């Protein structure tokens, strides 16, 4: 008997637009990578129906509903006083469509124009409470973090659907790749932690990590320190980073240094940007000379356990 051809799952993507575009793009990429079809207002053409009626009709035609919430409540429907996103969500709930909900972390820096005020903020908070009462919410602080979460979650939900024929072999392959990446990341963290305990033994070994930029990259003027890292003085940048686990939670923090082409990459990174990298743990010892008020000379030694960027992994 011939195998039935897999059909794309219709996934409705609901969110405000301008403030969340980079995150919408990440989720759309996840949906398409899994072989599914994206449905959202930005894909609608011209129609005689009112925009809200058209949106709600498309929600009812979907098999899965994804809701992304930032700091903007969105366009208001005059009849109900609720936003389009809020009404789309309620339509999904009314029709028993599975919902995946994600909320932007309050720690993420957002332009003032993308932060709701007054009554809109109160309605946004009520919407978030409604989501939290009905679902386990996923919080995110970067596009890559959201993409990872949505890919895993979509695979789980799509496998539960009974009215569509999905390519389970493809879904399992992608799920296994995610697990493999998580395993590599875990090994990287373990090696990094071993380096922090015994830096002399574990220095200079390649380690693969997922990191988040915490502060803007900056130059450094310590010649001896830079030379011990094996980098070029005058062309080296350093950045404060967080090291993330497979769930994108912060494990610890450190400094990442780079020169040349790698410094060029580091210089373009934004605060809160998440990267998968290969780095080299380095131990450096800097001698400092002090001249106390009482006279004489005091020599001290400071050791630094940091990371040198070797490669950004796509």
Count of beta carbons in the 10 Å neighbourhood of residue 96: 7
- pLDDT at position 104: 94
109 confidence band (pLDDT: 50, 70, 90):
confident
Burial of 43 (0-12, 13-18, 19+ CB in 10 A): exposed
Which of the pair, 289 or 221, is modelled with greater confidence? 221
- What letter does residue 137 receive in the DSSP assignment? P
Q: Cβ distance 193 to 248 under 8 Å?
A: no
For 10-166, the fitting CATH number among 3.40.50.10140, 3.40.50.10680, 3.60.15.10, 3.30.470.20 is: 3.40.50.10140
Domain locations in the chain as residue ranges: 10-166, 184-313
pTM of the model: 0.65
pLDDT value, residue 1: 41
- Cα-to-chain-centroid distance, residue 173: 22
What is the percentage of the chain residues whose pLDDT exceeds 90? 51
Given a cut of 70, whether residue 254 has pLDDT beyond it is: yes
- Strands 250-259 and 298-313: what pairing? parallel
Which range among 78-82, 95-99, 282-286 shows the weakest confidence by mean pLDDT? 282-286
pLDDT tier, 252 (very low <50, low <70, confident <90, very high otherwise): very high
Q: What residues form DSSP beta bridges with 212?
A: 242, 274
Topology of domain 184-313 in CATH is OB fold (Dihydrolipoamide Acetyltransferase, E2P) (2.40.50)
Residue 58's SS3 state is helix
28 vs 123: which has the higher pLDDT? 123
Q: Read off the pLDDT band of 44 (50, 70, 90).
A: very low
- Helix, strand, or coil (residue 14): strand
* pLDDT at res. 5: 61
User: Using alpha carbons only, how large is the chain's radius of gyration in Å?
Assistant: 24
pLDDT 10s digits, 138-195: 998 888 788 888 888 988 888 887 776 666 677 777 777 666 666 677 889 999 999 9
């Amino acid at each position: 008997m011939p195998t039935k051809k897999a059909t794309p799952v219709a996934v409705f993507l609901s969110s405000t637009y301008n403030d969340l575009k980079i995150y919408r793009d990440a989720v759309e990429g996840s949906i398409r990578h899994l072989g599914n079809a994206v449905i959202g207002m930005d894909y609608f053409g011209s129609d005689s129906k009112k925009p809200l009626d058209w949106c709600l009709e498309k929600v009812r035609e979907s098999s899965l509903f994804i809701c992304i919430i930032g700091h903007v409540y969105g366009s208001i429907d005059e009849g109900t006083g609720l936003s389009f996103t809020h009404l789309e969500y309620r339509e999904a709930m009314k029709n028993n469509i599975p919902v995946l909900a994600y909320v932007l972390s309050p720690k993420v820096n957002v332009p003032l124009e993308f932060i709701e005020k007054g009554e809109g903020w109160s309605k946004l908070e009520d919407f978030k409470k409604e989501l939290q009462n009905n679902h386990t919410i996923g919080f995110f602080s970067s596009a890559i973090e959201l993409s990872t979460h949505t890919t895993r979650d979509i695979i789980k939900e799509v496998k539960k659907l009974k009215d569509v024929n999905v390519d389970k072999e493809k879904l399992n392959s992608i799920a296994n790749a995610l697990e493999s990446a998580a395993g590599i990341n875990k090994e990287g963290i373990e090696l990094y932690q071993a380096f922090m305990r015994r830096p002399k033994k574990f220095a200079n070994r390649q380690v693969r990590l997922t990191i988040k930029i915490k502060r803007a990259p900056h130059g450094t003027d310590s010649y001896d320190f830079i030379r011990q890292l094996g980098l070029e003085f005058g062309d080296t940048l350093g950045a404060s980073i967080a090291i993330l686990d497979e769930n994108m939670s912060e494990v610890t923090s450190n400094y990442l240094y780079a020169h040349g082409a790698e410094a060029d990459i580091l210089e373009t990174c934004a605060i809160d940007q998440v990267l998968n990298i290969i780095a080299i743990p380095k131990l450096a010892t800097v001698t400092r000379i002090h001249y106390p008020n009482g006279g004489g000379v005091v020599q001290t030694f400071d050791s630094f356990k940091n990371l040198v960027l070797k490669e950004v992994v796509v």
